[in-house]
Amino acid sequence: MKSLRTLTLAALCTLAASSISHAADTTAAQQLAHWSAQAGSPGNADKGKVFFATRHGGEWSCASCHGTPPTAQGKHASTGKPIAPLAPAFNPKAFTDTAKVDKWFRRNCNDVLSRECTAVEKADVLAYLNALKP
Ligand code: HEC
């Protein structure tokens, strides 16, 4: 009886975990290495910091939703919905799912710059975010 209960519990936990977890196929360090390689130069944290906090012709900067520094919970600039901290040292889930990272880079860069971010811009933003520590 006990083993059956343990089994059921284990199955339930697996179910719960798979429905909430991400693919976890990358890390913030790997993302920085990837975009630096694509850019042909290492990401620059100082440039990333300026890029993140600056508006690029539109209504929003990255910081409008993610905050500056993006080490605490952000708030969506139009819906007011909470956004988990973007800096990986403050959010273990940030930059762990390639599909999610690509999707939000595409969407958010379009919202802020009316185009996709370049590899250089992504490498700079990642260098900035990865350098933020508690
Ligand atoms: C209008 C609001 C808004 C703006 C502006 C915005 N973001 Fe986001 N961003 C979000 C939301 C919402 C998410 C999804 C959060 C979640 O589900 O965890 C997100 C997620 C992300 C992610 C995925 C992080 C992860 O969990 O792996 C990245 C990368 C990102 N944003 C980068 C940027 C960059 C770079 C800019 C500026 C060019 C920017 N964002 C501007 C709202 C915004």
Give the whole-angstrom CA distance, residue 31 versus residue 100.
12
pTM of the complete model: 0.87
Name the residue among 128, 131, 120 with its Cα closest to residue 34.
Answer: 120
Give the whole-angstrom CA distance, residue 89 versus residue 134.
7
Backbone angles phi, psi at 48, to 5 degrees: -65, -40
Spatial neighbors of 111 by CB under 8 A, at least 6 apart, are 58, 60
Q: Would the CA dihedral through 104, 74, 134, 44 be positive or negative?
A: positive
Dist. CA 9 → ligand 1 center (Å):
35
Give the whole-angstrom CA distance, residue 75 versus residue 78.
9
Peptide bond just before 69 cis, omega within 30 deg: yes
| pLDDT on residue 19 | 43
Pocket lining for ligand 1, CB < 6 angstroms: 60, 62, 64-66, 76-77, 83-84, 86, 94-95, 100-101, 104-105, 108-109, 111-112, 125
State which ligand 1 atom lies nearest to the alpha carbon of 86.
24
Dist. CA 114 → ligand 1 center (Å):
15
Region 24-47 average pLDDT: 98
Judged against a pLDDT cut of 60, whether residue 17 lies above it is answered with no
The percentage of the chain sitting over the pLDDT mark of 70, rounded to a whole number, equals: 84
Give all domains of the chain, ordered by start, each with its CATH number.
Answer: 25-131 (1.10.760.10)
Dist. CA 14 → ligand 1 center (Å):
28
pLDDT band for position 5 (50/70/90)?
Answer: low
Mutate to test the pocket of ligand 1, among 106, 107, 108 (most ligand atoms within 8 A of CB): 108
| pLDDT on residue 41 | 98
